Amino acid sequence: MLLTKLWRFLLVPAVFSPTALAQTATDATWASFADNGAAMPSPDLAVGPAHVVATVAGELGWFSKATGQRMGGLAFDALWPWVIAPQDARYARAIYNATTDRYYVAALWRDGADEYVALAVSDAGGVDDSWFVRRDRVNMPNTATDYISIGVSGDGLYVSFDYSTGAGSWALWYTNDTMFNPAAYPGVGQASDEARRFAANAASGAGDGRMILTAADSGSISRVRINGRHDSQSWPWSHTVCDIPWQSDPPAGFGTRDFQASCIVGESLWLTHTITNDNRAVVRWYEINLNGWPNSGQAVALEQHGSIDTGANTYTPAIAADAGGNAVIVCSSTGHAVIRAVRFPGDPTGEFRPPVVLATSSAPVPADWGAFYSIDADPTSPGVFWSHTATMGSTGWQAHLTRTTIAAAPIYNPLYDLNGDGAIDTADATIMIIAMGTNNPVCDLNNDGVVDTSDLAILIGEM
């Protein structure tokens, strides 16, 4: 019986290099949303215990983590009843809060001269067509809101946004106690007078309720601006900067050097944006040690940085990391491809592995469409990451949901490389089959004096 199974196995090549390190990454991709008429898809997502809630311009959907299949969805004019057309709600962002076991979706919405933050909150413990919704007016004279971000802290949710005429970045914060009372206006304040857009982040892994916002410093091309609050009740925001290598806006058509994606794991703040290098758009990433700031009084420090440079333009990046020391970036590359790069624990400082292609467009893609992709670490499955990206085809754009799984890789042992070619593969299994019934010492892996199916089972287990 074992020999029969082996011959079937031999039909599928299996090669494991002796240079393979401790982990591998594999991807599974599903179609999430088709072109709905929006000029830019602007994909985003949030990952919970059983579902992924994903958004594009004009609609949201929820997907099974087990199968990747869509379980339901709502257009934004059905989610928020005051929204007349789905795409009137702009720049939707989603997040999951493990403390409340709820998903949150926020977007910007304009009604005549009035600007609002529109918020939707799922039921606790699951997601379906039932969402609590509210809207909060955020007007400022002679200006409009732009570029929304969303984050969670221990006791609530915060939403940041820019005023497009340079009035700085502002934030609303909703406590878990008052969020469901539409009459209770959220806390509001200016997070920074910086005109550069901010990326909101979840609280640190210490669970101490800190709120962190980051931005490219408008006063310097070699600093990151970091703004933080001790908790949702403290005021005002604290401000600091972190020195980084020189960076400038990417070439025309590839957006700006603003940070559009980030995450916090423990005290590590991971950031990514697009810059110029050798007259090309290049994705640059950073890991910054918060050192407990702003509560600790210690300075933040740059731990490492690097680039995703394929020799072509790379842009629209998103980054996520997990407690196991893995980090993953998704971005676009010239040639209309969506690419993914991964960094494993123990990799050299400043390096990600070479990128792989997740999906390819068959039609030209606008360089700065949507301005961002999205990626999250799975909160309940260590080593799993989910990303939401998009490509362009003959019928318009197509959004893609991808699960990237990082797992232990086989460890090379020369004892099982029977032909000494540097790989343990089906060629070695063939050698063992030929040696069956003999006392060939190279093939007698269990040293019982005869080559038999027990030795074959050992070899297969090492492939």
Residues 6+ apart with CB under 8 A from 437: 450, 451, 452
Sheet strand arrangement including 102-111: 89-97, 102-111, 114-122, 131-137
State the DSSP H helix or E strand holding residue 455, giving kind and residue range, or none if neither.
helix 453-461
Q: Are 382 and 322 in contact (CB under 8 A)?
A: yes
Residue 2 has pLDDT above 80, yes or no: no
**pLDDT one-digit tens code per residue, 75-122:** 999 999 999 888 889 889 999 998 899 999 999 998 888 889 999 999
Ordered structural domains, the chain, with CATH = 2-11+413-461 (1.10.1330), 27-406 (2.130.10.10)
Collapsed DSSP state (helix, strand, coil) of residue 9: helix
pTM: 0.83
What confidence score (pLDDT) does residue 411 get? 65
**pLDDT one-digit tens code per residue, 209-240:** 777 888 777 667 788 888 887 766 666 778 89
pLDDT, the chain, mean = 85
Which segments within 230-383 are labelled E, that is strand? Answer: 238-243, 261-265, 268-277, 280-289, 301-308, 314-321, 327-333, 337-343, 356-360, 374-377
Q: State the angle between helix axes of 426-434 and 453-461 in degrees (0 to 180), rounded to the nearest 10.
A: 170
- What letter represents residue 320's amino acid? A
Average pLDDT over residues 261-281: 90
Collapsed DSSP state (helix, strand, coil) of residue 59: strand
Question: What's the rounded Cα separation, in Å, for the pair 54 and 56?
Answer: 7
Question: What's the rounded Cα separation, in Å, for the pair 232 and 244?
Answer: 28
SS3 letters across 217-241 = CCCCCCEEEEEEECCCCCCCCEEEE
Q: What percent of the chain has pLDDT over 90?
A: 49
Tokens of 390: 């998009």
**pLDDT one-digit tens code per residue, 335-388:** 778 999 999 998 999 999 999 999 999 887 765 565 579 999 999 999 999 999
What confidence score (pLDDT) does residue 31 get? 95
State the DSSP H helix or E strand holding residue 55, giving kind and residue range, or none if neither.
strand 51-56
Please state the length of the chain: 463
Q: How far, in Å, are 88, 240, 321 from residue 223 at the CA level? A: 35, 10, 22
Query: Which residue has tokens 């304009």?
Result: 110
